[in-house]
Chain A
Amino acid sequence: MSKWLANAIEQASSKQDWFQPLRAQAIQSLAEITWPTRKTEAWKYTSLRAVERFKQEAEIKKLRDSVTTIDEFDAIELVFENGHCQFQQIGDLPKGLTIVKLNEASSEMQSFALQKFSSVKPKRHLFGLINDALVPDLVYIKVADQAVIDKPIRITSLLSEQAQVHTRVFVELGQQAKACIVEHYKGELECLNTGFIEYSLANESCLEHYRFALQSGKAVSIGGSHFELAECADLNSTVVGFGSDLSRLDIDVIHSGERAFAKLNAFYLLDNKETFDLHTTIEHAVPNGTTEENVRIIAGDKAKAVFNGRIHIHRDAQKTLAELNNRNLLMSHDAEINTKPELEIYADDVRCAHGATVAEIDKKAMYYLQSRGVPKEQAQVMLNFGFINELIDEMPNQALAQWLRPQMKKRFAAMKVK
Chain B
Amino acid sequence: MTEQIDKALEREYEAGFVSDVESETFEPGLNEDIIRRISTMKGEPEWMLEARLKAFNTWLEMEEPDWALVDYAKIDFQAISYYSAPKSMKDKPKSLDEVDPELLRTYEKLGIPLVEQQMLAGVAVDAVFDSVSVVTTFREKLEEAGVIFCPISEAVHAYPELVKQYLGSVVPTKDNYYAALNAAVFTDGSFVYIPKGTRCPMELSTYFRINEQNTGQFERTLIVADEGSYVSYLEGCTAPQRDENQLHAAVVELVALDDAEIKYSTVQNWYPGDENGKGGIYNFVTKRGICHTNAKISWTQVETGSAVTWKYPSCILKGDNSIGEFYSVALTRGAQQADTGTKMIHLGKNTRSTIISKGISAGRSNNSYRGLVRMNSCADGARNFTQCDSLLIGDQCGAHTFPYVESRNPSAIVEHEATTSKVSDEQMFLCQQRGLDPEKAVSMIVNGFCKEVFKELPMEFAVEAGKLLEISLEGSVG
A residues in contact (CB < 8 Å) with B: 41, 315, 318, 328, 330-360
Q: Are B395 and A353 in contact (CB under 8 A)?
A: no
**Residue interface mask B386-401, A partner, CB < 8 A = 1:** 0000101111111111
- Starting from the known contacts A41-B67, A359-B410, 8 additional A-B residue pairs (CB-CB under 8 Å) come to A333-B377, A335-B408, A339-B405, A341-B403, A342-B400, A345-B399, A352-B420, A360-B411
**Residue interface mask B282-321, A partner, CB < 8 A = 1:** 0000000000000000000000000000000000000000
Q: Are A342 and B401 in contact (CB under 8 A)?
A: yes
Interface centre among A41, A332, A341 (most CB of B within 10 A): A341
Q: Are B377 and A354 in contact (CB under 8 A)?
A: no
Complex Cα distance, B402 from A335, in Å, reads 23
Q: Are A353 and B418 in contact (CB under 8 A)?
A: yes
Q: Are A340 and B395 in contact (CB under 8 A)?
A: no
Chain B, interface SS category:
strand
- Min C-beta distance of A273 to chain B, whole Å: 15
Smallest CB gap from A356: residue in B:
B416
Q: Are B405 and A338 in contact (CB under 8 A)?
A: yes
With A335-B410, A356-B403 in contact, do A343 and B416 touch (Cβ < 8 Å)? no
Could you list 21 A-B pairs, sorted by A, with CB under 8 Å? A41-B67, A315-B396, A330-B407, A331-B410, A332-B410, A338-B405, A339-B405, A341-B418, A342-B401, A342-B402, A344-B398, A346-B398, A347-B392, A348-B392, A348-B422, A352-B420, A353-B418, A354-B416, A356-B415, A358-B413, A359-B412
Determine if B446 is an interface residue (Cβ-Cβ < 8 Å).
Answer: no
- Min C-beta distance of B429 to chain A, whole Å: 16
Q: Are A338 and B410 in contact (CB under 8 A)?
A: no
Which residues from chain B contact A350 at a C-beta distance below 8 Å?
420-422
Q: Are A340 and B398 in contact (CB under 8 A)?
A: no
Q: Are A345 and B375 in contact (CB under 8 A)?
A: no
Number of residue pairs spanning A and B whose beta carbons lie under 8 angstroms apart: 110
Complex Cα distance, B407 from A356, in Å, reads 12
With A348-B393, A348-B394 in contact, do A343 and B407 touch (Cβ < 8 Å)? no
Which residues from chain A contact B408 at a C-beta distance below 8 Å?
330, 333, 335-336
- Min C-beta distance of A244 to chain B, whole Å: 21
Interface size class of B (residues with CB under 8 A): 35 or more
Which residues from chain B contact A333 at a C-beta distance below 8 Å?
377, 408-410
Complex Cα distance, B2 from A347, in Å, reads 12
- Min C-beta distance of A258 to chain B, whole Å: 17
Determine if B404 is an interface residue (Cβ-Cβ < 8 Å).
Answer: yes
Smallest CB gap from A312: residue in B:
B400
Smallest CB gap from A332: residue in B:
B410
B residues in contact (CB < 8 Å) with A: 67, 69, 375, 377, 390, 392-422
Complex Cα distance, B69 from A332, in Å, reads 35
Q: Are A330 and B410 in contact (CB under 8 A)?
A: yes
Smallest CB gap from B401: residue in A:
A343
Which residues from chain B contact A351 at a C-beta distance below 8 Å?
420-421
Q: Are B400 and A358 in contact (CB under 8 A)?
A: no
Complex Cα distance, B405 from A358, in Å, reads 8
Which residues from chain B contact A328 at a C-beta distance below 8 Å?
407
Choose one: B402, B411, B415, B420; the contact of A340 (CB below 8 Å): B402
Choose one: A41, A336, A354; the contact of B417 (CB below 8 Å): A354
- Min C-beta distance of A311 to chain B, whole Å: 9
Complex Cα distance, B67 from A340, in Å, reads 15
Which residues from chain B contact A356 at a C-beta distance below 8 Å?
403, 405, 414-417
Q: Are A358 and B414 in contact (CB under 8 A)?
A: yes
Complex Cα distance, B416 from A354, in Å, reads 8
- Min C-beta distance of A364 to chain B, whole Å: 13
Which residues from chain B contact A347 at a C-beta distance below 8 Å?
392, 395
- Min C-beta distance of A197 to chain B, whole Å: 28
Smallest CB gap from A41: residue in B:
B67
Which residues from chain A contact B418 at a C-beta distance below 8 Å?
341, 343, 353-355
4 smallest beta-carbon distances between A and B, as pairs? A348-B392, A360-B410, A330-B410, A358-B407
Which residues from chain B contact A342 at a C-beta distance below 8 Å?
400-403
- Min C-beta distance of A270 to chain B, whole Å: 13
Which residues from chain A contact B411 at a C-beta distance below 8 Å?
360
Which residues from chain A contact B404 at a C-beta distance below 8 Å?
338, 340
Q: Are B412 and A349 in contact (CB under 8 A)?
A: no
- Min C-beta distance of B174 to chain A, whole Å: 15
With A343-B401, A345-B390, A348-B393 in contact, do A357 and B416 touch (Cβ < 8 Å)? yes
